[in-house]
Amino acid sequence: MTETILEAQDLRVHYQTKRGPVKAVDGVTMDLRLGETVGVVGETGCGKSTLGKAILGLLPPRTDVTGSLRLRGRDLLAIPPDEYRKLRGEELALIFQDPMTRLDPLMTVRKHFLETLRAHNRGISREEAARRAAEVLLSLGIPENRLDYYPHEFSGGMRQRIMIAMAIVLRPRLLVADEPTTSLDVIVESQILEILRDLRRAYSMTVLLITHNLGIVAEVCDRAAVMYAGKIVELGSVDDVFRRPIHPYTQGLLASTISVDTKVLHSIDGLPPSLLQPPAGCRFHPRCEHARDVCRSEDPPMVEFRPGHFAACHFGRDFL
């Protein structure tokens, strides 16, 4: 996995509001390599979904996006909307959180696929669209005879499979999965995660998995990026991040997870900061028990503490 498919450099996404800019993503630098799965984790409101939508170009009007975002060397922030729309589906795809709100209740599964395929190939026949839809649905365990069913006639897990099938029908290089198992029970969740693993192997597809579930990241991802208040505070292999975390926020997240052996519940004191007025210096310092004066005044840079293992902490070497 050496070929870089996506590069973000100092990426910033600021939503304009009457109270000022909301700095949802504020200086993210990372890359994604062909065929790998990268998990993005963090508390609600840390910027995970905004990062995914920025990659897909699905941000609301008047959003300020600066920095660099390149897909196989192509500057995504400089291409016109019509061209970006063509990339979605053929190069980039998104699996949404809740399939019931994304599938049109008045359209059959067949019509959903026909609309998707004709958006990229107006000349495709109904028969060819149905054939391709049936092929990809069958690979996800949905028989062809359900093409004319409506979304409400499927279970939650089956609807999520349909969403995945629609995302991959054009064989994109990069798949962004935004909390794809949030509303599913643990058995169906396991099935969906196995599908994502199979897709990566079958199509050499790169997957950016956005979630707040650390267990999912540990199970299916190659690398993990930990986000806090719009910034990536730690990035490295799953083994490094989970077994040898450097940033105090990552340590707090891992300590807060529970298992069958858990006897005492842990949590991180305090709340994430407002992204309208984030604190100066390290954004985690108001909640960090290791914070010192420099943490309150200087924003820590990302430092490579181990090969491929980065963290933004002034005192990261104390945790090696």
In a domain, 300, yes or no: yes
Question: Does residue 313 fall inside a structural domain?
Answer: yes
The verdict on residue 149 lying in a domain is no
Residue 297 lies in a domain: yes
Residue 185's pLDDT is what? 79
In a domain, 64, yes or no: no
DSSP-assigned states of every residue in 16-85? EETTEEEEEEEEEEEEEETT-EEEEE-STTSSHHHHHHHHHT-PPTT-EEEEEEEETTEETTSS-HHHHH
**212 located within any domain:** no
Determine the Cα–Cα distance for residues 201 and 73; give it in Å rounded to an integer: 24
Range of the domain at 269: 246-320
pLDDT in tens, 64-95: 999 999 999 999 999 998 899 889 988 999 98
User: Residue 320 has what pLDDT?
Assistant: 86
What pTM was estimated for this model as a whole?
Answer: 0.92
How far, in Å, CA of 173 to CA of 206, rounded? 6
Q: What is the pLDDT of residue 58?
A: 93
Evaluate whether residue 186 is within a structural domain.
no
Domain count, the chain: 1
Residue 316 inside a domain? The answer is yes
pLDDT of residue 160: 87
Residues of the chain with pLDDT under 50: none
Instruction: Give the pLDDT confidence of 229-247 residue by residue, as tens digits.
Output: 999 999 999 999 999 999 9
Distance CA 199, CA 185 (A): 21
